[in-house]
């Protein structure tokens, strides 16, 4: 069994951006069908973390939305490249999801800064550790505790 995964749709009038992908072909196809049901055209997929479960569905999404681009920060892209080229990790993913993920992964492009774009993208602590979920609510409470508030 795999832990729950999610993808977030951020949309305007016509275009949309997905935040992260799902993993298997069936999951990604269901996600793409869900987006199409809103009448949206996906123009980008923002990958928030370099672990494969955040981007491995990118290949299938780009098949479904050919005009879209996968995008990631330098740090995220570096980890994704490692996961895509490390033989042990590739074997692991192919063993856990045989025939359900691409044999050759597609990596996101580097998210570049430019006019009207923030200089430093926001990042989050996505290290998968028990008891460390890192929601904004949890972090606000932790800051309050450090300041002596409850």
Q: Which residues contact 118 (CB under 8 A, 6 or more apart)?
A: none
With respect to residue 119, please indicate whether it lies within any of the assigned structural domains.
no
Average pLDDT, the chain: 82
Question: Does pTM surpass 0.85?
Answer: no
pLDDT tens digits for 75-85? 999 999 999 99
pLDDT in tens, 100-148: 999 999 999 998 876 665 555 555 555 554 444 334 444 444 444 445 5
Phi-psi region of 130 (alpha: psi -120 to 50; beta: other; left: phi over 0): beta
For the domain that residue 53 is a member of, what is the CATH number?
A: 3.60.15.10
* Mean pLDDT for the stretch of residues 26-43: 94
Residue 118: inside a domain, yes or no?
no
pLDDT of residue 129: 47
Which residue range is the domain that position 95 belongs to? 8-113+125-146
Task: Report yes or no on 3 lying in a domain.
Answer: no
3: exposed, middle or buried (Cβ count in 10 Å: 0-12, 13-18, 19+) = exposed
Order of strands across the sheet with 15-19?
8-11, 15-19, 41-46, 69-72, 109-110
The count of structural domains within the chain is: 1
Q: Does some domain include residue 107?
A: yes
Residue 120 lies in a domain: no
């Amino acid at each position: 069994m795999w832990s729950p995964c999610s993808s977030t749709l951020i949309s305007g009038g016509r275009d949309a951006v997905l935040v992260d992908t799902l993993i298997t072909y069936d999951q990604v196809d269901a996600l793409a069908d869900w987006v199409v049901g809103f009448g949206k055209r996906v123009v980008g997929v923002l990958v928030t973390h370099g672990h494969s479960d955040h981007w491995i569905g990118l290949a299938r999404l780009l098949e479904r939305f050919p005009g879209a681009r996968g995008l990631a920060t330098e740090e995220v892209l570096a980890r994704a490249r490692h996961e895509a080229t490390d033989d042990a990790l590739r074997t692991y993913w192919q063993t856990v999801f045989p025939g359900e993920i691409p044999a050759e992964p597609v990596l996101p492009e580097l998210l570049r800064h430019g006019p009207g774009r923030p200089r430093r993208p926001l990042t989050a602590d996505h290290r998968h550790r028990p008891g460390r979920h890192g929601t904004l609510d949890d972090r606000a409470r932790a800051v309050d505790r450090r300041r002596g508030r409850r």
